[in-house]
């Protein structure tokens, strides 16, 4: 497998030339104080060095060794504790954290690039700081000032880690039926009892403490999701002076044996009257959880993108070196027994598909991150509200479409290697296995599609969607004629999505099954259309510069491939949506 190299040139192109993020930061006083173009560039450069030098070399060995469990203790693979210490000492765990408690305070659009790098280097490794960052976000936004001061500095510093304990054996998507209990104590704390499963980083040897955020119900809580509260439950109790005390009454009962991400400890966690502290208000735990969910779901989408990028880097190196057969038009490498496989049309199709989906995904994830920054930091209420509604609309697309495309991309990378792609030592099969979980956790992609269709489209009466559609139409109307080859098919794609959205809104009035029946294909039509917007923006930034630098010529060629070969997928998907729900209900359960 090729050594990982952070795609810094493309990241800078997206940030500086496509979106001109410095202009956004200048308009947001809270960000203008902490970041500018030079600071951002230096951060990305250093992150590229750390991820490529310290973390990427552990990817395959970590997969081979995996995590081990012994009497409640979990050991991560060789090299992981040392690499984590290096990562933490660089401040990377707290890259987006509040400066008040020791974080870097970087905007999400910078954090998104760092996340891509660490997850490309080693997804299993990247999950540990990701879960810590998510826990920090909920604590920062909902915990008391006392709890923030007690926990956030060490979590941002990477001295302590975090986990999110939501899922139970009988309750995955439907968190309203969780059984974990929280009993109030006289001193204001709570005793937490119950079992949680699939807990990423629930136990490990990377840090001296793990701060669990646990969803639980009080004895008098109302039924369903309105009766859920959130609690901080430390693995090791923290004394008033910040020192560590006794172990809390909790433990890791086992770890899962998984298809992929084997160096990430996925734990069964048992809470046996463990001491916990309320985060936010009683029965408002889901509110606190959803504060971090938009960030986490975008983060999972970025994991998919990251794996696609890693697969592409190996595939392109292999395609340039592996010689097999001659080009259809005759010998290219006349001094060799055969030509490099990159000359063959089908290999080029797969490589260009990977490149187009990766670079479109990078632009799209950065765009969503910019909306998160605007929603969080804008002092103009209307601007912040629009950005917040765009985030709500685009988050399920970012999670589901990026990861669905990532599986296609990693499979293409494996296929380019032929038989070697099926062999462990080349690394491509690991990326396929690791990628598969991204479509499942943090809400399955089917659930993301239902969220987009049911809550964000039908639930808003199409108003959230109108923000994006109107923005694209303004871009098309204002574009120069030399962009016609990109803006005309983009305009047609948006018109198709307009019509499809109106069709589903109308059909859903008479038949609620239409929402679920349309949701997956609709999300994909939405995703391809959103990527078309990204590619048109990138083409605008590259046009006229292709003679200066091969980078721009490559960018324009990839844009043309996207519009010619990938965007047309929307037509068959749209036809599937308009086929309606009837065919899904032709069979009784016994007939399956």
Q: How far apart are CA 404 and CA 415, in angstroms?
A: 17
**Residue bearing tokens 């090729």:** 2
Which DSSP category does 186 fall into? T
Residue 362: what are its φ and ψ, rounded to 5°? -65, -45
Which of helix, strand or coil describes residue 215?
A: strand
Catalytic residue among 442, 499, 514, 550: 442
d(CA 449, CA 542): 33
Q: How far apart are CA 141 and CA 150, in angstroms?
A: 14
Taking the CA atoms of residue 357, residue 358, residue 362 and residue 365 in that order, the dihedral angle to the nearest 10 degrees is: 60
Angstrom distance (rounded) from CA 37 to CA 490 = 30
Please state, in angstroms and rounded to a whole number, the distance separating the CA atoms of residues 238 and 398.
Answer: 37
Residues comprising the chain, all counted: 592
The token pair that represents 9 in the structure block: 């040139």
Please give the structure tokens belonging to residue 559. 């844009």
C-alpha to C-alpha distance for 256 and 258, rounded to whole angstroms: 6
Alpha helices in 157-284 (DSSP H): none
Query: Which helix (H) or strand (E) element contains residue 246?
Result: strand 244-247
Q: Residue 107: which of 374, 304, 385 has the closest Cα?
A: 374
Nearest Cα neighbor of 375 from 28, 110, 111, 136 is 28
Task: Let me know if 64 is a catalytic residue.
Answer: no
Name the residue among 433, 393, 409 with its Cα closest to residue 361.
409
Cβ pair 115, 302 in contact under 8 A:
yes
> What is the Cα–Cα distance from 56 to 59, expressed in whole angstroms?
5
Cα separation, 340 vs 269, in Å, equals: 51
Asked whether 286 and 228 are in contact (CB, 8 A), the reply is yes
Question: Which helix or strand (DSSP H or E) is residue 24 part of?
Answer: helix 21-27
Say if CB 143 and CB 280 are below 8 A apart.
yes
Distinct helix (H) and strand (E) counts, the chain: 19, 11
The residues carrying an active-site annotation are: 442
């Amino acid at each position: 497998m090729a050594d990982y190299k952070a795609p810094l040139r493309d990241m800078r192109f997206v940030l500086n030339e496509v979106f001109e993020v410095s202009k956004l930061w200048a308009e947001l006083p809270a960000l203008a104080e902490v970041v500018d173009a030079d600071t951002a560039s230096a951060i990305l450069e250093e992150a590229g060095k750390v991820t490529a030098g310290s973390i990427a070399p552990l990817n395959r060995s970590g997969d081979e060794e995996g995590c081990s469990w012994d009497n409640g203790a979990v050991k991560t693979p060789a090299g992981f504790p040392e690499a984590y210490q290096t990562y933490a000492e660089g401040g990377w765990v707290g890259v987006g954290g509040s400066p008040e408690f020791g974080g870097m305070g970087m905007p999400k659009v910078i954090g998104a690039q760092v996340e891509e790098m660490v997850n490309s280097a080693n997804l299993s490794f990247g999950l540990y700081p990701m879960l810590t960052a998510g826990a920090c976000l909920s604590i920062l936004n909902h915990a008391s000032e006392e709890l923030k001061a007690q926990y956030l500095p060490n979590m941002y510093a990477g001295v302590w880690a975090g986990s999110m304990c939501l899922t139970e054996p009988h309750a995955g998507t439907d968190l309203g039926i969780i059984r974990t209990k929280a009993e109030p104590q006289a001193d204001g704390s709570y005793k937490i009892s119950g079992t949680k499963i699939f807990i990423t980083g629930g136990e490990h040897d990377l840090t001296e403490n793990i701060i669990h955020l646990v969803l639980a119900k009080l004895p008098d809580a109302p039924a369903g999701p309105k009766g859920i509260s959130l609690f901080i439950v430390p693995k090791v109790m923290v004394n008033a002076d910040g020192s560590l005390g006794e172990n809390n009454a909790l433990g890791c009962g086992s770890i899962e044996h998984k298809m992929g991400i084997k160096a990430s400890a996925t734990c069964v966690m048992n809470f046996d009257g463990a001491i916990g502290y309320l985060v936010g208000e009683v029965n408002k735990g889901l509110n606190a959880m959803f504060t971090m969910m938009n960030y986490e779901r975008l983060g999972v989408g970025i994991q998919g993108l990251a794996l696609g990028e890693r697969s592409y880097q190996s595939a392109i190196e292999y395609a340039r070196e592996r010689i097999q057969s001659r080009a259809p038009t005759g010998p290219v490498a006349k001094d060799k027994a055969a030509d490099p496989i990159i000359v063959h049309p089908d290999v080029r199709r797969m490589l260009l598909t990977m490149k187009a989906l990766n670079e479109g995904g990078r632009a799209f994830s950065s765009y969503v991150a910019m909306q998160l920054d605007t929603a969080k930091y804008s002092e103009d209420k209307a601007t912040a509200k629009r950005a917040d509604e765009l985030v709500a609309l685009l988050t399920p697309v970012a999670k589901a479409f990026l990861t669905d495309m990532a599986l296609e991309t990693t499979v293409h990378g494996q296929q380019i290697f032929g038989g070697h792609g099926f062999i462990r030592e080349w690394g491509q099969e690991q990326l396929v296995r690791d990628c598969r979980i991204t479509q499942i956790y943090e809400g399955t992609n089917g659930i993301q599609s239902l969220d987009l269709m049911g809550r964000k489209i039908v639930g808003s009466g199409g108003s959230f969607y109108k923000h994006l559609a109107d923005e694209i139409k303004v871009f098309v109307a204002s574009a120069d004629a030399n962009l016609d080859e990109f803006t005309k098919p983009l305009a047609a794609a948006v018109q198709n999505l307009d019509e499809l959205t109106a069709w589903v809104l109308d059909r859903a009035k008479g038949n609620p099954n239409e929402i679920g029946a349309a949701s997956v294909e609709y999300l994909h039509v939405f995703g391809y259309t959103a990527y078309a917007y990204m590619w048109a923006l990138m083409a605008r930034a590259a046009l006229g510069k292709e003679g200066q630098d091969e980078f721009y010529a490559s960018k324009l060629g990839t844009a043309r491939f996207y519009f010619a070969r990938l965007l047309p997928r929307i037509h068959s998907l749209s036809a599937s949506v308009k086929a309606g729900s009837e065919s899904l209900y032709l069979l009784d359960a016994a007939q399956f």
